[in-house]
Structure 1
Amino acid sequence: MSTGQQAQIAPAAVASDLTTGDLRVALAKGWADFRAYPLFGLFFAGIYVVAGMFLYFGLFVRGEIAWLVPVAAGFPLLAPFVAVGLYEVSRRREAGLPMSWRAVLGALRGHGDEQILSMGVILFVAFAFWLMVAHGIFAIFLAESGIGSESLELFRTGAGLMMLLVGSIVGGLMALAFYAVTVVSLPILVDREVDFITAIIVSLATVRSNKAVLLAWAVMIAIALFVAMLPLFLGLLLVLPVLGHATWHLYRRSVSQSGA
């Protein structure tokens, strides 16, 4: 990490001087990682795309068309866990280590301490919780409307528009909270042998020390993922790997060993 202002958050020193230039550098490095090892990126993004299509067509078959909105809104909550393998690719390329499927897939196990799997469970619980919250918002605004979830017409009604507004605010706040929890915690769990609570503390400290820049990064991620999901999730085959690799490099810029 370049010299500059730091805050000591054991066991790491967290930068407090990130700039938008760091975001551009991270994206450039992320693109370089993807170009160097595209198969890994396509593999992990492909899992995400297939899962998205499964949910998409499953909702159509069941006639739950209106649920496409909350599912699409909450789906990015799972992206950080899918990106763990991408972090390992970037880590190994940066360190000059040999690249293999066994090593990269092994990153999902963490350092044999199940810390990354614990974070994965948290993310899946967050996704399920968002769906429950979305269901509650739907019930509050549209339970008496007579319009079922099999129709998108409900979003053209006054109650439907209000539901979208409230749902967007609540969903945005939830997404921002989990972004703050995961933006650094998962990369640090790939990089170092720490427990997930410590990793979360470092992640929150990093966001707190660089609010404007990391909020801009969150907005960039949200917009990129939203646009990439529009063509049947296929845009994620490019966007997700680049963002995943870029997040690793942003982590490396943000966090160093304590006392470094």
Structure 2
Amino acid sequence: MTADTIYPPKIVVRAATFADIGAALSAGWGDFLATARFGLFFGAFFAFGGIGILAMAWALDLSYLAYPTAVGFSLIGPFAAVGLYEVSRRHGAAQHLVWRDILGVIFAQRRRELGWMAFVTMFMLIMWMYQVRVLLAIFLGFQSFTSFEGFLQVIFTTFDGLMFLGLGHIFGSVLALILYSATVISFPLLLEQEHDFITAMITSFKAVTMSPVVMIGWAAVIGFTLYISMIPAFLGLIVTLPVLGHATWHLYKRLISFEA
């Protein structure tokens, strides 16, 4: 071990309160208003990506997967918000916001630990879609649906359809909670500090388990807001995604500090 070995700073996690949630939302809204051109850009990119995925499902005659695909798409929100974290970080440090620098930081993450978190996020998305297909096979067999309306009729008017819907939401909620717990702190942490992604995920889980009611409450706020925002063809995400992204950065800054 050499004398010039550099260790990352020690991570200190503080318990969250509902006051932290309120302050983070207020600060996130302030960041959105102050840097709207960036927020609207990232929000629109995410929203139109969701529209494209749904259009592809319809084009491939897989319209019955539209709803689970839309819900699953929201799971990659933390990764999509990386640019928003960087905007909030620079805005808070009174640094000049330049498109080239912001996009350059995002592109550079492929060589950093945060890039591994993209695999974690995509793995959970794949698991989400896999459990949907398994439940479809168990409860609805391999029958084909000629239309999305026909699929909805089966789902809401038959016992097997209701079982598929109920268990799908239960399993999906568990996967979403696991992913949320692993990423709510780890993404902004890895953007700011070069820790390994395992340490970042452990820190994120620790932040959630230290204040489970508050942090799960924040997850519920995020989930409900994203769900409502997706109803008007994903277009609500153009505003809500950047506000939530900025707010998540500020919540992270309130909960995490470092010691040399």
Could you state the TM-score of these two structures normalised by the residue count of structure 2? 0.91
Aligned to 1:161: 162
Aligned to 2:13: 14
The whole-number CA distance in structure 1 between the counterparts of 2:83 and 2:146 is 36
Amino acid in the other structure paired with 1:15: R
Aligned length: 248
Q: How does 1:1-260 map to 2 (within 5 A)?
A: 11-16=10-15, 18-110=16-108, 113-143=111-141, 146=143, 148=145, 150=147, 151-152=150-151, 153-156=153-156, 157-258=158-259
The whole-number CA distance in structure 1 between the counterparts of 2:145 and 2:109 is 47
What is the CA deviation profile of residues 55-108 of structure 1, one whole-angstrom value per residue up to 9, with x for unaligned ones? 112222222221112112211111000100000000001111111112211222
The whole-number CA distance in structure 2 between the counterparts of 1:78 and 1:51 is 11
**What secondary structure does 1:240 align onto?**
helix
**What secondary structure does 2:257 align onto?**
strand
Q: Is the 8 A contact 1:155 1:164 kept in 2?
A: yes
**What secondary structure does 2:83 align onto?**
helix
| 1:120 Cα offset (Å) | 1.2
| 1:42 Cα offset (Å) | 1.2
The whole-number CA distance in structure 1 between the counterparts of 2:259 and 2:205 is 16
Call closer, same or farther: CA 1:149–1:27 in 2, change over 3 Å: farther
**What secondary structure does 1:148 align onto?**
coil
Call closer, same or farther: CA 1:117–1:149 in 2, change over 3 Å: farther
Q: Is the 8 A contact 1:111 1:193 kept in 2?
A: no
**What secondary structure does 1:108 align onto?**
helix
Could you state the TM-score of these two structures normalised by the residue count of structure 1? 0.91
| 1:187 Cα offset (Å) | 0.3
Amino acid in the other structure paired with 2:36: P
**What secondary structure does 2:166 align onto?**
helix
Amino acid in the other structure paired with 2:155: F
**What secondary structure does 2:235 align onto?**
coil
Call closer, same or farther: CA 1:13–1:71 in 2, change over 3 Å: same
The whole-number CA distance in structure 1 between the counterparts of 2:58 and 2:219 is 30
| 1:112 Cα offset (Å) | 7.2
Amino acid in the other structure paired with 2:145: G
Q: Is the 8 A contact 1:67 1:149 kept in 2?
A: no
**Fraction of identical pairs, as percent:** 38
Q: Is the 8 A contact 1:184 1:200 kept in 2?
A: yes
Structure 2 residue runs of 5 or longer lacking an equivalent are 1-8
The whole-number CA distance in structure 2 between the counterparts of 1:149 and 1:186 is 41
Amino acid in the other structure paired with 2:247: A
| 1:11 Cα offset (Å) | 2.2
The whole-number CA distance in structure 2 between the counterparts of 1:167 and 1:98 is 45
**What secondary structure does 1:234 align onto?**
coil
The whole-number CA distance in structure 1 between the counterparts of 2:231 and 2:250 is 27
Call closer, same or farther: CA 1:162–1:149 in 2, change over 3 Å: farther
Amino acid in the other structure paired with 2:179: F
